[in-house]
Chains A and B, each alone.
Chain A
């Protein structure tokens, strides 16, 4: 269904998307630091910023053809939804987030 021209346009969009990946990673890492600090101070409520970043990544990565990244983001997304209004088990969440960061790194490295 996709014409060659459409494929080229999508490839161009993919490059733009890839270029935004480091800033997406930084944003998620910043949220993770906030979450860790919040958990240490006894707060267990969902970090809305983290959820928004992850949810968007879960929705967009697959559409741009980065399926593994989309799945890793979806795992965190679903985990946060399932444990809302809390954030579930901090250790479990941390493992899923680390996996997500690894997938982001993989995507960045593959694009280099």
Chain B
């Protein structure tokens, strides 16, 4: 047998023989196999026997590689059930042919290729899904903007309508008040007033809902009699309770007294709770208790109505919600608004209920009793800066405040106000909110930084609700609305000067 060349020998050692399972053949010029060597005796390929003719599939490869200086390699050649790499060294005769079993490697490679293909498909699908997701997100953003726009429009509409309702109701109340003065013995004007309060509450409920958690809306505390309030609530609902033959009582303890709270909001809370109790009570009683003690007003509204299941105790405070099988003619806003109002008044609202037995709503609101001695306000003394771009307003209040004993400085613009403040360092500043050259709130905030003890009062022509969400009201002790009630202005100024003296 002819020895293979040194280079071929080196190649066989380095590239082939170190691998497992191969068959080495020597093939003569007639393409007959002259010798067969197997790395693994049991591995046999069909037609590869000494003396037999090289199968056509291999013969063509030898033919192609014949005479080449370098070994030729043919990958993944199918021989019988196997896949082999065929190495042909045919620079001399006989040619050497080595078949290396790569069946497993080929299968793995095919599996990898399949996987890569699958991955490519998945990647395409993922891209398509991402694109779809991105489009959906854009659509979502668009829809959300549209929804927000619609919601804002709705809120503006409700607020505007509620505002329009207020004026005629206030007018009705005013005339009812005049009638009551003219005909003190008649019950009709008082009934008219109570019904107006009720109507006003419904309008205020809508307005509250439109504000939707706008915490910048300020309360308007005034002095009023709890006794009168209790009487009004009793009279307002007496007929309704009588129609259902319910026992209905409103009790006040320890007795009549004046307190300082936002009377409208307090009435709103009571009307909401009592009308709710009457709506869901078909027999038995509805009791309302008002008690003042420890600087807290406690309100309890207890009924023997349908009661509320435990799982509904939170749901009842959601807007437009009716639970149980009772009459559902209400707007479904009463309890939602009540909770918002109680929270705004720094109070707490609790509910205890048992289905079929009844419910008890308890509200506690911090408030002080106001006595006549406390109501005597001290004379005003000190200097005040009044900022307004309306000369008519400046003239009027300069005269009035001077008459009240104050030293009044006026400014018609932000820059004038700054100059006056530098010159006089007034402890109290009153400013219109919307000035021609800027915002009164910003001015007061700026002054407050320079003069921490400063007491600031803001006047607005368009209502405190015009502050809007996000407006900071920090450092402002009071908001007054034009036209300014002189009594209220006097009280606020007195309180402001007192606070400026006490400020640390």
Contact = CB atoms under 8 A, between A and B. Distances in A.
A75 B426 CA distance: 35
B461 A59 contact: yes
Interface residues of B, number: 27
Contacts of B185: none
A17 B393 CA distance: 10
A3 B487 CA distance: 11
Contacts of A81: 462, 466
A22 to B, nearest CB: 14
A30 interface: no
A89 B403 CA distance: 45
A17 B392 contact: yes
Contacts of A6: 400, 403-404, 486
Contacts of B113: none
A1 B466 CA distance: 29
A34 interface: no
Interface in B394-450: 395-396, 399-400, 403-404, 432, 434, 436
Interface of A: 1-3, 5-6, 9-10, 12-13, 16-17, 20, 52, 55-56, 58-64, 67, 70-71, 74, 77-78, 81-82
Given A5-B403, A55-B434, A58-B482, A78 B462 contact: yes
A16 B393 contact: no
The majority secondary structure among interface residues of chain A is: helix
Contacts of B432: 59
A16 to B, nearest CB: 7
B395 A62 contact: no
Interface of B: 156, 160, 163, 167, 389-390, 392-393, 395-396, 399-400, 403-404, 432, 434, 436, 459, 461-462, 466, 482-484, 486-487, 490
Contact of B167 (A9, A12, A64, A71): A71
A10 B457 CA distance: 22
18 contacts: A1-B487, A6-B404, A6-B486, A9-B399, A9-B403, A10-B396, A12-B399, A55-B434, A56-B389, A58-B482, A60-B392, A62-B483, A63-B396, A64-B396, A67-B483, A70-B482, A78-B462, A81-B462
A80 to B, nearest CB: 10
A63 B399 contact: no
B336 to A, nearest CB: 26
A13 B393 contact: no
